[in-house]
Amino acid sequence: MFCSRYDVITAADGAVALSHMRRRHVHVAVSDQRMPGMTGSEFLSRVKDISPNTMRVLLTGYSEISSVIEAINDSEVFRFITKPWDNDRIQNLIGEAVEIGVELAAKTRPTTAGLVQLSDRAARRIMVISYSKPLYQKVAELTKDAYEALHARTLYDALITLESGEVAVIVAESAPESEDVGLFLKLVKQEYPDVVTILLTPTADVDAAISLINQAQLFRLLTMPVLTEALKVNIDAALGHALLLRGAPIMRRRHSVEVVPEGKQPVVCGALQESLGKLSDRLKRKSSGELIRDL
């Protein structure tokens, strides 16, 4: 499918593939999940370490939730593709990944040092979306010396918080009786590509997790209960990643997302998406110095 357009290197296992990558740069790594020696998510995690600007795509015909969580948390994959795939879709997806990978390779590897001039408050603001207070209180306690934690009990509260100022990281809690937090994170990522998101959930669904990779570029998916130290480590990593995205605009393309299909959006979220769009427009106009009356 690709040899007429790209230089395609093949390998039957992760160890051979890694040896290729140590000898030459690869713009895109596409891995099957089930392989001898190491899984695809493990392989792509190691790719991330040795070649962070390589775009990473995982494909599989049988999805276990553990492998999907690894793809999010450890491999930070660009896309997750399930078999059987549509040829046109996978060609478009790989084409996009190659374009971004080539652009990334042309740039010096970015670091967080000296990249941005943000106020400490803007760069260190965390919004916690949780109907109850325990998660917010835990995050506030963990970050009180370094970061500002804001509490949003509802998605409407979260919108107001986004409007009131810059948010670097969103930590959201999902519960069966709560609003569709996953969809909210997808819509936020479309409007605010610099915002880095963490989702805590009591149970993880394979299809939902895959869609959060492709349509939200979710940074971390954590199943509850989460150890306090693990939560802190992931929040610190998310804040560092948010700073990187703000300082190196090219990295935003690395985290571009698929648009949520309109037919798959609950009707109730139409107003939410419209509100996000209006909010984004208002913020752009405010940043350009226009005087706007709040609606």
- Are residues 171 and 129 in contact, defined by beta-carbon separation less than 8 angstroms? yes
Distance, CA of 56 to CA of 78 (rounded, Å): 5
First to last CA, the chain: 51
So what's the pLDDT on residue 292? 35
**Maximum alpha-carbon separation in the chain:** 61
Q: Which amino acid is at 13?
A: D
Sequential DSSP letters for 52-63: TTSEEEEEESS-
Q: Which amino acid is at 81?
A: I
So what's the pLDDT on residue 274? 66
Q: Which amino acid is at 277?
A: G
Residue 185 burial by CB count (10 A; 0-12/13-18/19+): exposed, middle or buried?
A: buried
How does pLDDT run across 200-228, given as a tens digit for each residue?
Answer: 998 878 888 898 999 999 999 999 888 99
Q: How far is CA 62 from the centre of its chain?
A: 22
Q: How far are the Cα atoms of 94, 126, 135, 138, 165 from residue 80, in angstroms, in the given order?
A: 12, 28, 29, 32, 33
So what's the pLDDT on residue 124? 74
So what's the pLDDT on residue 213? 92
Give CATH 3.40.50.2300 domain extents, the chain. Answer: 14-105, 120-285
CATH code assigned to 120-285? 3.40.50.2300
Distance, CA of 93 to CA of 159 (rounded, Å): 31
Q: What are phi and psi of 108, to 5 degrees?
A: -65, 140
Token pair recorded at residue 263: 């037919």
Q: How far is CA 221 from the centre of its chain?
A: 10
- Are residues 124 and 146 in contact, defined by beta-carbon separation less than 8 angstroms? yes
Query: Helix, strand or coil for residue 144?
Result: coil
Residue whose C-alpha is closest to residue 187's, from 166, 216, 147, 223: 216
How does pLDDT run across 77-114, given as a tens digit for each residue?
Answer: 999 998 888 899 999 999 999 999 998 888 755 444 44
- Are residues 213 and 79 in contact, defined by beta-carbon separation less than 8 angstroms? yes
Distance, CA of 77 to CA of 57 (rounded, Å): 6
Which CATH architecture describes the domain 14-105? 3-Layer(aba) Sandwich (3.40)
pLDDT less than 70: residues of the chain = 63, 108-123, 175-179, 261-295
Query: Helix, strand or coil for residue 272?
Result: helix
